[in-house]
Amino acid sequence: MSQQTNKSQAVIIRNAVKRYGDFQAVNNISLDIKPGEFFTLLGPSGCGKTTLLRMIAGFNTVDGGEICFDDKVINNVAAHKRDIGMVFQNYAIFPHLNVTENVAYGLKARKVPNAEIGPRVQEALKMVQIDHLATRKPNELSGGQQQRVALARAFVIEPSVLLMDEPLSNLDAKLRVQMRTTIKKLQQRLGITTIYVTHDQEEALAISDRIAVMKEGNIMQVGAPEEIYRKPANPFVANFIGVSNFIDCRVTSANKTATVEIEGKYSFKMPVRQEFNGDAILSARPEQLFLSDHGIAGTITLALFLGDFVQYEIKLENDQIIELNEYTKDTDSTRSVGEKVFIDFNPRQVSLYKKSSEEVISC
Amino acid sequence: MLGGNKKSGTPFYTDFWFWVKIIIFAVFLIFLVYPFSTLVINSFRSTKADGFTMYNFSRFFQKKYYYSALSNSLQMSLIPTILSVLIGVPMAYLMTRFNIAGKTFWHVLIILSLMCPPFLGAYSWIILFGNAGIITQWFTSTFGITIPSIYGLGGCCAVFTLKLFPYVYLYVSGAMGSIDRSVEECAENLGSGKLRRMLTVTVPVVMPSIAAGALMVFMTALADFGTPGILAGGNFRTLPVLIYNEYLSETGGNANLASAISMIIVVISLLILFLQKWWVARKNYQMSALRPPAIAEYHGVKRFLITLPVAIVTLIAFLPQAVVVFCSFVKTNYSNFVFSEGFTLEHYAELGRSLTTNIRNSFVFSTVAILFILVLGILMSYVIVRRRGKTGGALDMLMMAPYVIPGSVLGLCYIVAFNNLGRTADGTVIRLTGTASIIIISMIIRKMPYTVRSGSAFLMQMDPSIEEASINLGVSPMKTFAKVTVRMMLPGVLSGAIISWVTCINELSTSIMLYTGKTATITVASYTAIVRNSVGTGAALASILTLTSGALLLIFFKVSKGKVSIV
């Protein structure tokens, strides 16, 4: 199969809108997806990610705004003329066709000469390691094998854009990890612009070049996995990607440095991107917190030994429960329930948001 | 240009389906709604009064000759319904929970006896138990006892029960197979004995299916023309028979009274249907068996004892078919079979001489009807499942119409609506009645629901993303419909169409109203032969029906592979 980097296109979405009656499923979304990029739409169910993907595929109308492939507006191009590969959540393998016929289906529709179809199908099957199943019927395949057929069928047509709608959600945990590596390697090798929908944050972090986190039809943040994890733009992203503890605090700032005060008992300084005085939310992940001889006071209420780390639940003096992970390699023993401890952290790692608008203050 | 000018979720190919909907609605409007409305209007008119009048209805309820038919019809529907439940439910229980010997064989026989025309059963019972019946005469000559007459209500009830209990059996055994084992185990665990568990857990859970089966029994018995027609005897009249008689006596008139009687039947059917829906809606238990119920394994004498009741019931139900086929080879003397003189092919030779038209009619009409049913059924299933829109509900309702409007009523509808469509230049009346087309159309309208139901059931289980995958791979929506959707619906549609076909061939109550000499079918010829006591020809014709139905059902089992329910 030829390398396709030169063929893959940018996907540009400008103010896209999808309405169902009064409900805005997709609310003025704009995205700029680069040629060859692995881009993920991530969010909880009902956030509009699949709706947006289906708008790109042509299965949903675009009720406002534009969707472009490179500089060509495709709003009114029929679904079957968009030259897109798509992998569906339930694989959508044609049950009456065998593996080879399934993969050849799109090539036949494109009137590729018969002499060419055979080798191309063979090579595609080889790439997803199912060339030995070429004559099987779908009902003789496992879920993982069906997924590979779906994948081969989508990229064998050398589409300019590849769409994937929760392709791994029906697989068991182990297979899911294995398949996402396969997909990632394949995408890197073919260089097809790929838009991937998932609600699984770990999967999104592992596989994507960039991620758009969505909520209720809106984009909450767009960025590289590490950026989204380390610098979540708002509490929603902070808690959706991984887990975060939210602690109420008061902020006074001057010269891009904030003094953060928690319950009037513990205070620290951290760099901020803008001046702000008032109520704020401190967001810290369980692994960003550590036990110390000073910091926020609390009592251990639960200690779960999980092998590589210990997961503590710590009750603060205001009764809020904080989750904290301590790596076994960093300590010699597990603390016991009832023990009084202090929680501390590196102020450069945690995030700070305005309480009213949830806007990010920290750098 | 911005998009968003179309309302539907799926753009670009709404036009074709828009026209499909228009055509489907037009067909039903012209051949169901319009004739039925004409019938309704007709029932409020009379030659005895001007304008709209209740004359027909008041006449019906004043004269015992008429209203006794109503009470007869109700009894003749209700008693078999109760008896069918009493036989069908235990049969379903035995067949789903025990290792009955020859299970598949009995199952096929039960379905076969359901699919043959009811009047044929009536005819068999006359051969056996009629005034000059084989068993009657044997009893009289051997014991000097006269066995009770099978003419009238009793005979009709017996025939309908044996013929229609399969409905209850089929619905209930389907439901019993889908009760999760744990539900009953739980009841047992809570201390219920076997019988108690059956009565307090199993039966209530399958109650909606019992109700569905009972509804089918009631509606079929109420609407049936042939059985009471043959077993009428003396003063036993039912509503469909009355409609036929009134229509015949009013020929040339407007069949006003017949229309009024039709209205009464339809109203009763509607009431029963709503009653059943309302009752089921209140107690619908959704269940999908994770672990199907255990099948008790018995051996030796015990297994024989469990199989025995199943075998007896099934064989009695199947007896009419066997008797008719057997008798078609027996010599006759005027109107009686003469069993002492060996076998003959005379009756079949007679068919070859004078009744080839009827045989050809049956096969030509039903084949043409089935082709239309296939095409319309595929399109309609697709519209109902994938493009419901605002009209989906209306289509569902049209699909219920054949259950509510008995065949003879539809026949009458066509007569009042299409008997006079104006005159040609030279003065001849243009009419659809008496033509082959009208019989074919009535078959399409009444029998299509079987196809639509199994087709849409298949489509509903098919993931829409399979069609989207095809479109996505570059095949246009119309081609995708042909290459993928139709291909995948095919087992469902074909098996439904076979059932439609069987019922078309066995159809009597509409064609008896609409036929002329040239368009009489096997059922009509067989029925008239029986009524005229030309018993040999009747038996030979009925045997052709039985064998054809049997052959089609075998094809059905092959095509559906057990995935399509027959009811």
A13 to chain B, closest Cα gap in Å:
13
* Mean pLDDT to the nearest integer, B506-533: 88
pLDDT at B508 over 50: yes
Question: Cβ separation of A106 and B466 shorter than 8 Å?
Answer: no
pLDDT per position as a tens digit, B273-331 = 888 888 877 765 655 555 667 788 888 888 999 899 999 999 999 988 888 888 889 88
Question: Cβ separation of A110 and B468 shorter than 8 Å?
Answer: no
pLDDT at A4 over 50: no
Chain A residue nearest residue B486, CA to CA: A96
Chain B residue nearest residue A21, CA to CA: B7
- CA angle B372–B375–B380, rounded 5-degree value: 110
Position A74 scores a pLDDT of 93
Instruction: Work out whether strand A309-316 and strand A321-327 pair parallel, antiparallel, or are unpaired.
Output: antiparallel
Question: Cβ separation of A80 and B472 shorter than 8 Å?
Answer: yes
User: Could you tell me which of A292, A241, A4, A247 has the C-alpha nearest to residue A120?
Assistant: A4
Position B399 scores a pLDDT of 82
Position B9 scores a pLDDT of 43
* Mean pLDDT to the nearest integer, B388-397: 81
Position B353 scores a pLDDT of 85
Among the ranges given (A354-358, B246-250, B281-285, B515-519), the one the predictor scored with the smallest mean pLDDT: B281-285
* Mean pLDDT to the nearest integer, B212-217: 90
Interface of A with B in 4-33 (CB under 8 A): 17
B480 to chain A, closest Cα gap in Å:
10
Contacts of B1 in chain A (CB under 8 A): 75-76
User: Can you name the residues that pair with A322 across neighbouring β-strands?
Assistant: A314
Question: Cβ separation of B474 and A59 shorter than 8 Å?
Answer: no
- Cα distance between residue A337 and residue A334, in whole Å: 10
Q: Does any CB of chain A come closer than 8 Å to the CB of residue B10?
A: yes
Among the ranges given (B69-83, B110-124, B161-175, B189-203), the one the predictor scored with the smallest mean pLDDT: B189-203
Interface of A with B in 59-98 (CB under 8 A): 59-66, 75-76, 78-86, 88-90, 92-96
pLDDT per position as a tens digit, B179-188 = 777 767 776 6
Which residue pairs from B150-153 have beta carbons closer than 8 angstroms and sit at least 24 positions apart in sequence? Answer: B150/B125, B150/B126, B150/B231, B151/B231, B151/B232, B151/B233, B151/B234, B151/B236, B152/B231, B152/B232, B152/B233, B152/B234, B152/B235, B152/B236, B153/B72, B153/B75, B153/B76, B153/B79, B153/B236
- Cα distance between residue A130 and residue A341, in whole Å: 55
Q: Calculate the average pLDDT of chain A.
A: 91
A343 to chain B, closest Cα gap in Å:
49
ipTM of the complex: 0.84
The radius of gyration computed from the CA coordinates of chain B, to the nearest angstrom, equals 25
- Give the closest of A61, A64, A88 to B6, CB-based: A61
Question: Cβ separation of B3 and A76 shorter than 8 Å?
Answer: yes
Residue of A80, A88, A117, A163 for testing the chain B interface, max B β-carbons within 10 Å: A80
User: Could you tell me which of B444, B447, B433, B401 has the C-alpha nearest to residue B514?
Assistant: B433
Position A216 scores a pLDDT of 94
- Give how far Cα B78 sits from Cα of A351, B292, B403, B541, Å: 76, 33, 16, 31
- Give the closest of A62, A85, A110 to B4, CB-based: A62
- Give the closest of B466, B472, B474 to A94, CB-based: B466
pLDDT at A21 over 90: no
Q: Does any CB of chain B come closer than 8 Å to the CB of residue A344?
A: no
Phi and psi, residue B430, nearest 5°: -85, 125
Q: Does any CB of chain A come closer than 8 Å to the CB of residue B491?
A: no
Contacts of B10 in chain A (CB under 8 A): 59-60
Residue B196 contacts residue B265 (beta carbons within 8 Å): no
Question: Cβ separation of B4 and A66 shorter than 8 Å?
Answer: no
Contacts of A81 in chain B (CB under 8 A): 474
Position B234 scores a pLDDT of 60
Q: Does any CB of chain B come closer than 8 Å to the CB of residue A191?
A: no
Position A5 scores a pLDDT of 45
Q: Does any CB of chain B come closer than 8 Å to the CB of residue A56?
A: no
Position B253 scores a pLDDT of 52
pLDDT at B39 over 80: yes
A83 to chain B, closest Cα gap in Å:
7
Among the ranges given (B130-134, B362-366, B501-505), the one the predictor scored with the smallest mean pLDDT: B130-134
Position A337 scores a pLDDT of 93
Position B423 scores a pLDDT of 76
* Mean pLDDT to the nearest integer, B194-220: 83
- Give the closest of B3, B472, B474 to A63, CB-based: B3
Chain B residue nearest residue A157, CA to CA: B473
Contacts of B472 in chain A (CB under 8 A): 57, 79-80, 82, 84-86
- Give the closest of B2, B12, B465 to A78, CB-based: B12
Residue B110 contacts residue B166 (beta carbons within 8 Å): yes
Locate B216 and state its tokens. 């089918």
| Helix residue ranges per DSSP H, B45-152 | 55-62, 64-97, 103-115, 118-129, 134-143
- Cα distance between residue B539 and residue B154, in whole Å: 23
- Give the closest of B10, B13, B465 to A92, CB-based: B465
- Cα distance between residue A298 and residue A151, in whole Å: 51
| Strand, coil or helix: A276 | coil
User: Could you tell me which of A48, A20, A153, A169 has the C-alpha nearest to residue B468?
Assistant: A153
Q: Does any CB of chain A come closer than 8 Å to the CB of residue B300?
A: no
Position B5 scores a pLDDT of 37
- CA angle A293–A299–A301, rounded 5-degree value: 135
Position B47 scores a pLDDT of 78
pLDDT per position as a tens digit, A22-79 = 899 999 999 999 999 999 999 999 899 999 999 999 999 999 999 999 989 999 999 9
- Give the closest of A61, A64, A109 to B11, CB-based: A61
Residue of B473, B485, B486 for testing the chain A interface, max A β-carbons within 10 Å: B473
| Neighbour tally for B1: CB within 10 Å | 8
pLDDT per position as a tens digit, A139-192 = 899 988 999 999 999 999 999 999 999 999 888 888 889 899 999 999 999 999
Among the ranges given (B52-61, B84-93, B465-474), the one the predictor scored with the smallest mean pLDDT: B52-61
Report residue B397's pLDDT band, with 50, 70 and 90 as the boundaries: confident
Q: Does any CB of chain A come closer than 8 Å to the CB of residue B390?
A: no
Q: Calculate the average pLDDT of chain B.
A: 84
- Give the closest of B4, B466, B477 to A61, CB-based: B4
Report residue B233's pLDDT band, with 50, 70 and 90 as the boundaries: low
A122 to chain B, closest Cα gap in Å:
18
User: Could you tell me which of A357, A350, A354 has the C-alpha nearest to residue A274?
Assistant: A354
Position A85 scores a pLDDT of 93
User: Could you tell me which of B458, B544, B454, B563 has the C-alpha nearest to residue B499?
Assistant: B454
Chain A residue nearest residue B469, CA to CA: A92
pLDDT per position as a tens digit, A208-249 = 999 999 999 999 999 999 999 999 999 999 999 988 999 999
Position B352 scores a pLDDT of 85
Chain B residue nearest residue A51, CA to CA: B9
What DSSP letter does each residue of B463-512 carry, written as one string? -HHHHHHHHHTT--HHHHIIIIIHHHHHHHHHHHHHHHHHHHHT--TTHH
- Cα distance between residue A253 and residue A274, in whole Å: 9
Question: Cβ separation of A81 and B4 shorter than 8 Å?
Answer: no
Q: Does any CB of chain A come closer than 8 Å to the CB of residue B344?
A: no
State percent of chain B over pLDDT 90. Answer: 28
The radius of gyration computed from the CA coordinates of chain A, to the nearest angstrom, equals 24
pLDDT per position as a tens digit, A80-139 = 999 999 999 988 999 889 999 999 999 999 999 999 999 999 999 999 999 999 999 998
Residue A307 contacts residue A270 (beta carbons within 8 Å): no
Residue of B8, B472, B475, B476 for testing the chain A interface, max A β-carbons within 10 Å: B472
Locate A179 and state its tokens. 């398949």
Locate A193 and state its tokens. 């612009």
Question: Cβ separation of B3 and A79 shorter than 8 Å?
Answer: no
pLDDT at B565 over 70: no
- Give the closest of A63, A78, A88 to B469, CB-based: A88
Residue predicted with more confidence, B553 or B427:
B553
Question: Cβ separation of A94 and B469 shorter than 8 Å?
Answer: yes
Contacts of B470 in chain A (CB under 8 A): 94, 105
Position B484 scores a pLDDT of 92
Question: Cβ separation of A64 and B477 shorter than 8 Å?
Answer: no
Question: What residues contact B201, with CB distance under 8 A and at least 6 apart?
Answer: B183, B184, B187, B192
pLDDT at B1 over 60: no
Report residue B557's pLDDT band, with 50, 70 and 90 as the boundaries: confident
Question: Cβ separation of B1 and A105 shorter than 8 Å?
Answer: no
Burial class (CB in 10 A: 0-12, 13-18, 19+), A153: buried
Question: Cβ separation of B465 and A109 shorter than 8 Å?
Answer: no
Whole-model pTM above 0.90? Answer: no
Query: Using H for helix, E for strand and C for coil, what is the string for B318-387?
Result: HHHHHHHHHHCCECEECCEECHHHCECCHHHHHHHHHCHHHHHHHHHHHHHHHHHHHHHHHHHHHHHHHC
Contacts of A93 in chain B (CB under 8 A): 466, 469
Report residue B12's pLDDT band, with 50, 70 and 90 as the boundaries: very low
Position B289 scores a pLDDT of 55
pLDDT per position as a tens digit, A270-313 = 989 888 899 999 999 999 999 998 889 999 999 999 999 999 99
- Give the closest of A59, A78, A106 to B468, CB-based: A59
Contacts of A58 in chain B (CB under 8 A): 11-12, 471
